[in-house]
Each structure stands twice: as C-alpha cells, then as structure tokens.
Amino acid sequence: MTFENLNIIEPLCRALKQKGYTSPSPIQEKSIPYILQGKDVFGCAQTGTGKTAAFALPILQLFHAKQLIRKSFGIKALILAPTRELAIQIGQSFSDYGKNLNIKHTVIFGGVSQHHQIKALDSGIDVLIATPGRLLDLMNQGIIKLHTVEFFVLDEVDRMLDMGFIRDIQRIITKLPPKRQTVFFSATVPPEIRKLADGLLQNPVAVQVATISAPAEAVKQSVYYVEKQDKKDLLKFVLEKEKIDHALVFTRTKHGADKLVKDLVKVGIKAEAIHGNKSQNARQRALEGFKNRTVRLLIATDIASRGIDVDKLSHVINYELPEVAETYIHRIGRTGRAGAGGTAISFCASEEKAYFKDILKLLGNKMDVMEGPAFNNPRKAEAERPERRSFNRPAKKPDSGTAANKNPAGGSKRFPPRRKFSS
Ligand code: AMP
C-alpha cells in the first residue's frame, strides 16, 4: 500500500517522501479514505501509531481542493490537543506535510504570552491547533470565533478527560457549527468517552488499530524488582549494562522527577526534567537538548510526556510504575515508534507490586524479570524482614526467570556491593 493508493495528492506525497514515509501506517490506511469521503471517524489508536498524519493529511488535502474553488476567510479546521507539547508536535506535522501547499495553520497554548499567537491569528489562518484552556480564553476575549469551522478534531480525548478538560471541551463544542466533519481519537474508550463521542459524531466510522492491551509488538519489555531506595543505583547499573546513551525515564510525580534529575546530575549524568511545573521555555529547552542528544536522560511525568515526539527512541525506563495500567502502555508507546524496535525497562518496588500486577493483567501476564545487583544499603536490615525476603531474595533459586507471573522474585545471583550512588 502506498499513499498514492490512498489517493493522496502529489504535493503531499512529495512531502511524505521527504519525511521518509514509504507507506501508510495501519491507522492511516484505515482512516484516510473515510475522512477524504467526508465521514466522521472515531479512531481508537495509541500514540506512536501515526494518528497525526491520519487526520492531518486529509485535512490538508480537503482544504487544498476547496481553496482551488473558493477563497473563504476564518478558521476552517480546529484541532484540540491536551498538552502544549502535543499541540506543537501536531503543528510541526502540518508544517512538514503541508510544505508544498498553501494552507495556513497556527498553534495556540497557554503558559506563554498570547501576543504572538494573536498576531498569527490576525494574519488569517485555515487550521487552528489549540489546547482547550487558551482557546477558551481567546474565545472569551472575542479574538477567536469558531462559526466558520468545517472540520473538528479531538485528539487524545482520554488524556483530555484525565486532565479535567471535559467542561472546557463542552463549552468549545457549543460554539461549533453543527454542520461539520468530526474526527475523534482516543487510546482508550471508557464509558464517558463513548458518551462524548455519541453526542459529537454523526454516523461515525469506527477505526481501530491496536487495543490498549496490545502494545507495540516491537517493544522488548522487562522488569527489575528493587527496593525504592535502591532505584538510583539500579538506574546507573542499567545504563551501564545496557549501554543506554539516550532514554526517556518516567516518574509518577513532578517532585520525583526533579529529585531524580538532581541525583543524576550529581553523579555526572546529564538529565533534565519535563513536567507541568516547568515553564514552557524550560520544557522546550529540555526537549531540544534531549532531541539533539546533549541531554542523555529526559525525566518526565506522564502528563508532560504526551506530545514528546522523538524519532526512534530506543529506551523507555519506568523508574516508577504508573498507578493506572493503561498509562504503562502509553509510556512504552514512546519507544518502538512506527515499527522501530525499542526497549522498555521497569523498576518495581515492593509498594508498587499492586500496580505491576495490574500491568501484567493488561498485558496478558508476560514480562522478562531481570537480575540487578544486591544492594548494600543501611536499610538492609529492614529488607531482611520475612515479607521483604520473599519479594527480593527468593529462598529457592528460580528456574528460568523469564515469566514474572511465575517468578515475581527474579533471580538470586549476587553482584558485589556497589558504590553508593550519591552521598
Ligand atoms: P504519531 O502517532 O502521529 O505521534 O506518530 C508517531 C511517529 O510516527 C512520528 O514520529 C511520525 O513522524 C511517524 N510516522 C507517522 N506516519 C508514518 C509513516 N507512514 N511512516 C513512517 N513514519 C511515520
């Protein structure tokens, strides 16, 4: 299958070739024909599947065709995304794919001055990519009007709901013309998303590429069982053992991300944190540093990580496991993007065992258990308590150590005590 087979016009195909896309991804193959026919689409696809191009290409193509017939003013397509990073990423995709067309777009998001965004809007745009908060703000100021919108995209809807944007979205929807085409993408479809979709879409075509329980096949997954206080040492051990020179590392909290960066920097590992408390500039700087490889580890919280798009990310490390199993799938979707192989390594402490059990259940109970060093730390006495012993140091030597459900304790081989990570 080629983009030409999907009836994508020549200027777009040319841009795609320059991006190195040789064939459409499954979500593109399944959605593009329907969107080009003018149908509403309900897409269930996780990040990394190529869903941005699945809606961006038909939007560019449809508006290019219309532009040839008439020139109208006002915003014609509105794309709502949950985070600034994702919005910027979508904007970049429109620039890349639409480079040979004359469709104007701009991106607006909060946390920065609205001045430049208003200037861009004033110059007249066809496609607006926005986060809900800033969009509403500019709508309330009378700067943005949505009555000309013909095409509406809600991207990563589950994340938008997680982030508490439901009211904002509902307010925005009331200002859209009822006669429009709507595309809706969500990685998961809990009942409230189904309800929202039912109210928004008209006779939608449902398109699904991989269920949330089927993460990218190309991702090699493994887990280390480790006590919380030993995770820093384990991270250093894993970086050396696997020769990892570039990885995205997840923590559950912003505070955890900052603390880890401090500890890493102390031992000479270049790391930056990306999370909601960082200014937009700081986030972009961190992301740029990571992309150009001056930053070795990018430490991210889940919400901030959405929209981080780094080509061929080889490693994702779950330094802390997520509370919600689906989030694990989102995280590991950052590696092995668009078919490239990748590795996801998780650190599971005693208090995270329940989260890990949920993840295994979602995955179908399969993950390699890795052996880490036996850490020599002051809390060893506590770790020797009977219930800890059964978790960290199995009485019986395990047979193969490849299935976590069979052998949650991992291996028993001892490594020499390692130097403490930070003083
Ligand atoms: P997305 O799911 O839209 O965030 O896209 C994930 C990644 O896949 C991005 O880096 C895209 O540039 C890339 N990508 C999207 N479509 C294709 C394709 N047909 N061939 C190769 N890479 C693609």
Each residue's pLDDT tens digit, 321-375 = 998 787 888 788 778 655 567 899 999 999 999 999 988 887 776 788 898 887 7
Q: Which of 2, 12, 19 to mutate to test the pocket of ligand 1 (most atoms within 8 A of CB)?
A: 19
Q: Distance between CA 74 and CA 146 in Å, rounded?
A: 8
Sorted by sequence, the CB contacts under 8 Å of residue 298 that are 6+ apart come out as: 247, 248, 249, 271, 272, 273, 274, 286, 287, 290, 308
Residue 2: band (very low, low, confident or very high) from pLDDT cuts 50, 70, 90:
very high
Per-residue model confidence as pLDDT tens digits over 125-148: 999 999 999 999 999 999 999 999
Find the residues whose C-beta lies inside 6 A of ligand 1.
Answer: 21, 24-25, 28, 47-53, 309, 311, 337-338
**3-state SS track over 252-279:** CCHHHHHHHHHHHHHCCCCEEEECCCCC
Mean pLDDT across 241-267: 94
Would you say residue 413 has pLDDT above 90?
no
Q: How far is the CA of 89 from the centre of ligand 1 (A)?
A: 11
Please report the domains of the chain, with CATH numbers, ordered by start residue: 4-208 (3.40.50.300), 219-376 (3.40.50.300)
Q: How far is the CA of 158 from the centre of ligand 1 (A)?
A: 20
Q: Distance between CA 301 and CA 299 in Å, rounded?
A: 7
Helix, coil or strand: residue 391: helix
3-state helix, strand and coil shares in percent for the chain, rounded to the nearest 5 = 40, 15, 45
Q: Pick left, alpha or beta for residue 194 (phi over 0 → left; psi -120 to 50 → alpha; otherwise beta).
A: alpha
Q: Which residue has the tokens 């995304």?
A: 81
Of 81 and 162, the one with more pLDDT? 81
Q: How high is the pLDDT of residue 405?
A: 36
Q: Torsions phi, psi of 106, nearest 5? A: -150, 165
